[in-house]
């Protein structure tokens, strides 16, 4: 497969066309960003670690019957994926309160959420990804009623599968963000699942092992991602 023109360059990945019209190449870069792109840095090895981490998780999700865009690893920092018509919505599930939900509602970080809590956000950095509900999504035509229901059901299914997976490595899956897109008549899980887009804590010490290390200047960002990968058995080399 040949890498073609660049289609889009985001904050952490670059998307390329290929010689197959329904396939794209995702290039995971070392760039990292937080606070809607206000804080940025280059972190050595992050592209490689996230590319391989994502491939491992997407394969686990496929094995559990969740349809994803993932096709195959192409190189250390690139993957081949199905070309989706992305829904401009971020789907977030939270098992434990952290991040924006604590600021928004004045709740303490670390409390268990029963039931796990679901939120939709509009993917729009300029507007700081505002929270939206399913009526906004349908009324503004971002997705249909059926797609909304599918995104929600699929995100909860991912939560069940991955909470168990992280627990098996002695970790808590605190929260995570997913993006979906259309492919033919189907809705598939797109984008990525890496420690850039979720919160993972050590189950005993509650040490942060995700992008909060970058947001809060805790250091050892990629080292923490590698620790998570090692505990899950993700092959990095």
Residue numbers at the binding site for ligand UDP (CB under 6 A): 90, 92, 99-101, 129, 175-177, 197-199, 211
Cα distances (angstroms) measured from residue 102 to each of 66, 90, 115, 122, 137: 30, 18, 16, 19, 24
Name the minimum Å distance from CB 143 to ligand UDP: 17
> Is residue 35 a contact residue for ligand ADP (CB under 6 A)?
no
- CB 190, min distance to ligand UDP, A: 13
Helix, strand, or coil here: 46?
Answer: helix
Residue number, 81 or 101, with CB nearest to ligand ADP? 81
CA 177 – CA 155 distance, rounded (Å): 9
Answer yes or no whether residue 165 interacts with ligand ADP by CB under 6 A.
Answer: no
Instruction: For residue 69, state whether it binds ligand ADP (rule: CB under 6 A).
Output: yes
CB of residue 7 to ligand UDP, shortest distance in Å: 20
Of the candidate residues 43, 73, 86, 131, the single one contacting ligand ADP (CB under 6 A):
86
Reduced to 3 states (helix: H, G, I; strand: E, B; else coil), residue 166 is: helix
Q: What six digits make up the tokens of 128?
A: 């700081």
Q: From ligand ADP, ligand UDP, none, which one binds at residue 213 (CB under 5 to 8 Å depending on kind)? A: none
Shortest Å distance, C-beta 210 to ligand UDP: 7
Contact mark string toward ligand ADP, 178..217, x via CB under 6 A: -x-x--------xx--------------------------
Q: Are 27 and 12 in contact (CB under 8 A)?
A: no
The residue behind tokens 């599930």 is 93
Q: In what order do the strands lie in the sheet with 23-28?
A: 3-9, 13-18, 23-28, 78-82, 70-75
Strand partners, 134: none
Largest CA distance in the chain: 50
Contacts to ligand ADP by CB under 6 A = 8, 10-13, 15, 24, 69, 81-84, 86, 179, 181, 190-191
């Amino acid at each position: 497969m040949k890498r073609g023109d660049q289609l889009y360059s985001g904050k952490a990945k670059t998307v390329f066309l290929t010689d197959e019209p329904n396939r794209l190449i995702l290039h995971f870069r070392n760039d990292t960003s937080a606070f809607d792109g206000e804080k940025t840095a280059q972190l050595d090895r992050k592209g490689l670690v996230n590319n391989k981490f994502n491939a491992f998780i997407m394969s686990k999700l496929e094995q559990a019957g969740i349809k994803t865009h993932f096709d195959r690893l192409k190189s250390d920092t690139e993957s081949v994926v199905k070309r989706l018509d992305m829904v401009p919505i971020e789907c977030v599930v939270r098992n434990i309160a952290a991040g924006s939900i604590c600021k928004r509602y004045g709740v303490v970080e670390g409390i268990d959420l029963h039931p796990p809590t679901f939120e939709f956000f509009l993917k729009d950095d300029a507007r700081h990804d505002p929270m939206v509900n399913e009526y906004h999504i349908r009324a503004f035509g971002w997705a249909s009623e059926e797609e909304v229901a599918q995104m929600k059901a699929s995100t909860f299914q991912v939560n069940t599968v991955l909470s168990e997976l992280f627990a098996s490595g002695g970790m808590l899956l605190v929260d995570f963000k997913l993006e979906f897109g259309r492919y033919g008549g189907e809705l598939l899980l797109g984008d990525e699942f890496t420690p850039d887009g979720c919160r993972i804590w050590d189950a005993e010490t509650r040490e942060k092992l995700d992008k909060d290390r970058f947001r809060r200047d805790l250091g050892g960002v990629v080292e923490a991602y590698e620790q998570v990968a090692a505990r899950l058995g993700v092959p990095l080399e």
